[in-house]
């Protein structure tokens, strides 16, 4: 439920409300992501996905790399969108019965809105339908938000790859979600 002050802003009744510019952006961003639809990534999405990637990753994939994943067998890439506007994406590769999460990124203006969680849950469910029995990923040791999300989703830390990331030689945590067929996403 919106507070009276927020509702005044929302309705446009109080043009001089005391909300900060950042608060106003968050309210508008929340409105934009209310009716998010998760759908397969298509070629038309790849430029926006690459922009989100550049804003999120220190070694971003190119537009061409994302185009190569569209419709590729053993590849599941999805976007979170509303009315054609892409807010984030996630992708994994199927390797035999393993789902290897490759990329997850959310537009910086729309982080902390549970879009990453929704995208990951979606691709894991698709992987399960394609026969995956487990899932794995690597994550930077310093990315505490991502580690927290993966842990919430049932992933456990199983190892470390020393100096895995070439840009700054940061270690990667290796995380696994075993028994995917017995997995229940949070809130379900």
Of how many residues is the chain composed? 188
> Do 94 and 74 contact (CB within 8 A), yes or no?
yes
Helices (H), 12-81: 21-32, 46-56, 63-69
Active site residues per annotation: 138, 150
How many Å apart are CA 110 and CA 151, to the nearest integer? 21
Q: Which residues contact 6 (CB under 8 A, 6 or more apart)?
A: 19, 27
How many Å apart are CA 137 and CA 134, to the nearest integer? 11
> Do 179 and 133 contact (CB within 8 A), yes or no?
yes
């Amino acid at each position: 439920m919106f507070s009276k002050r927020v509702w005044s802003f929302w309705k446009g009744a109080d043009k001089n409300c005391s909300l900060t510019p950042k608060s106003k952006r968050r309210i508008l961003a929340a409105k934009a992501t209310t009716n998010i639809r998760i759908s397969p990534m298509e070629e038309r999405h790849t430029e926006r996905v690459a922009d989100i990637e550049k804003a999120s990753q220190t070694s971003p994939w190119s537009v061409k790399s994302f185009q190569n994943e569209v419709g590729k067998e053993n590849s599941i890439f999805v976007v979170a969108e509303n009315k054609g506007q892409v807010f984030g994406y996630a992708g994994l590769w199927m390797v035999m019965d393993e789902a290897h999460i490759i990329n997850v990124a959310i537009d910086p203006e729309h982080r902390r809105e549970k879009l990453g969680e929704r995208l990951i849950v979606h691709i894991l469910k698709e992987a399960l339908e394609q026969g995956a029995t487990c899932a794995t990923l690597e994550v930077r040791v310093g990315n505490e938000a991502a580690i927290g999300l993966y842990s919430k989703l049932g992933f456990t830390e199983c190892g470390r790859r020393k100096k895995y990331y070439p840009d700054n030689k940061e270690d990667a945590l290796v995380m696994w979600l075993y028994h995917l067929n017995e997995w229940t996403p949070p809130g379900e």
